[in-house]
Structure 1
């Protein structure tokens, strides 16, 4: 008998939670679970991706009319009568969990995707998180954290530790490929020569991603070697971003930076890099580091979330919010030379393929579904 899992997610931006859900549903096709999605807000590039793959998607607009949209969410859950409601991120945890209970569906799984419980998030998000902590003992059957660091951080602010478990991200390696021709073509388009060393970052422009850290580190590195160039890929990493352009201008080496904005060919962008950098102030389990590893690109990352567990000894870990430290980490990889970086990238690829497959993540989620449906554990 096919079971139905209804996912409620806060939005449709191209981000870690959205991509994890996308991969989970694709990996689940033909198995014992059918999946559909309700998004609480309509904006974002994932909407087209879900629809292109034939994934059932209902889009609400809580920003426009929160009360009527909550009533509609409740009505939809009553009509669909899923076996499990799985929610992704704080607002969906709160609203989706409450709507499910009011609809008589008590098989609820919450999803925590961040470790930053002290940072500068929106006040509304802080309020929602506190409400979730207070309700964590009765709304969800299980709370799935993407990283051990996320579990620990949320336990400290009052979430029910007894209901929490960790399921790391899995990766669809069939989609993480790029040919040498694609790599060369993109590098040519960016103006890079065969001898240039490209240090890149990938992720939407956001304070948590700390792109100022990356830019300042790049400015320090640019003085060391004329071959160094810096590739920045992600939403709003483009020439319309005045703050970003100002930071780049202040380095004194604006000609070394290439801004590509949001792209759909992430594997090709990663393949164009010799070194990948994550400069974030906070993460839980950053997909992009795993994707870079899968592409054989050695990584330098700030010590955030579960990055240390993910990379182990296949990359360089540095303190967050320190351009000097980030530049020093990149310098370590530069000293390895091309052959040393290739070997480190090879080890990273082996590690991610052995430990973080999408099949493993799917099986773990399906074990949780079985426990929730059977009422085991609580």
Structure 2
């Protein structure tokens, strides 16, 4: 069977963001159906060496902003040589530069844009992002379709002015083999948080919540880059709220997230802005009920299998944690099973990959 060529153009295939990880999972899941080619506008990284190894070819165009016209010309030449029927783009700059590069091509491929970004506040975006958004607005009717990773993102971008008659949501998917529930309920209860030290992640509200519950028999585990006592702001929270390092465990950045999820009972997200929070899906795949702020697609992901509270409200977060604490062991186990089942049904990489393939095949 001759496999169809699928070209992916991504802004940068080097970080560990949601779009990059989703692309890697998608390539692995669909390698029997497609010959994949990855074109990274900027660079590729060893992080994705195993993904790139199963691609028929891959390219890094060393884009730095100043060489944009040269990179568009390189991309055009590559697409001319590869002659794919379909190109899937990942992130704003890749969307724009691919759409510009196919102008004038004799055999123009179907181009699908991919948007993996929340647009809650366009004014706060960087100048480069604002520029790509402005161009995206002008070009948004050109692609064969736009795939958003979150319902909230779709609505935000449509309000901004990105209009395309074939816009749809395909959520990020997770590998169910990788994330497995732990049937054990810990004593004392362990609440887990994972997110880099960044304004968007709501660290002030996380520590306000912990301070309200420090007299409860609860252990908090905090994972994420910058979550350590060398960070003066974290150290300041410990001193301000007189927290105990045994009760509030700082793990900094960790690479083994499946084991982290197995070491906790509930997952807590205190973000003030998100698009599609992958951590909630990973946590639920691990059989964890989630307590989350109402940001991005959190409510759509968690539904009635956890607690959704307003952002920046530590009282509501603390009350939700206590509601979980007061459940019976049987109720906690039922929640474990139900959260896993929701991910199996809606967010497995198998299910999500099939949705992408349906889109790619729809315009033949």
TM-score normalised to structure 2 length: 0.88
Alignment partner, residue 107 of structure 1: 110
Instruction: Determine if the alignment matches structure 1 residue 234 to structure 2 residue 224.
Output: yes
Deviations 1:2-56 (A, max 9, x none): 211111222221121112111111110212x222222233376743453466684
Alignment partner, residue 8 of structure 2: 7
* 1:102 to 1:62, Cα distance in 2 relative to 1, 3 A: farther
Deviations 1:215-260 (A, max 9, x none): 22222222x31x3222222333344433333334433215133232
2:272 and 2:116 mapped to 1: Cα distance? 15
Alignment partner, residue 293 of structure 2: 302
Instruction: Check the 8 A contact 2:84/2:109 in 1, yes or no.
Output: no
Instruction: Check the 8 A contact 2:145/2:167 in 1, yes or no.
Output: yes
2:284 and 2:308 mapped to 1: Cα distance? 14
2:253 and 2:104 mapped to 1: Cα distance? 39
Equivalent positions of 1:169-208 (< 5 A) are 169-177=172-180, 195-208=187-200
Pairwise CA distance, 1:150: 1.7
* 1:2 to 1:44, Cα distance in 2 relative to 1, 3 A: closer
Pairwise CA distance, 1:266: 0.9
* 1:82 to 1:43, Cα distance in 2 relative to 1, 3 A: closer
Instruction: Check the 8 A contact 1:297/1:342 in 2, yes or no.
Output: no
Alignment partner, residue 361 of structure 1: 352
SS of 1:230's partner is strand
Pairwise CA distance, 1:82: 2.1
Instruction: Check the 8 A contact 2:72/2:100 in 1, yes or no.
Output: no
Structure 2: unaligned runs, 5 residues or longer: none
Deviations 1:146-199 (A, max 9, x none): 12222111111111141311112222101113778xx99xxxxxxxxx633221
Instruction: Determine if the alignment matches structure 1 residue 311 to structure 2 residue 312.
Output: no
Alignment partner, residue 18 of structure 2: 16
Instruction: Check the 8 A contact 1:18/1:46 in 2, yes or no.
Output: no
Instruction: Determine if the alignment matches structure 1 residue 340 to structure 2 residue 331.
Output: yes
Residue number among 77, 80, 87 corresponding to 1:78 in the alignment: 80
Alignment partner, residue 61 of structure 1: 62
TM-score normalised to structure 1 length: 0.85
Instruction: Check the 8 A contact 1:87/1:97 in 2, yes or no.
Output: no
SS of 1:263's partner is coil
Alignment partner, residue 38 of structure 1: 39
Instruction: Determine if the alignment matches structure 1 residue 271 to structure 2 residue 266.
Output: no
Pairwise CA distance, 1:279: 1.5
1:361 and 1:299 mapped to 2: Cα distance? 22
Instruction: Check the 8 A contact 2:5/2:35 in 1, yes or no.
Output: yes
* 1:117 to 1:135, Cα distance in 2 relative to 1, 3 A: farther
SS of 1:173's partner is coil
Instruction: Check the 8 A contact 2:90/2:114 in 1, yes or no.
Output: yes
Alignment partner, residue 209 of structure 1: 201
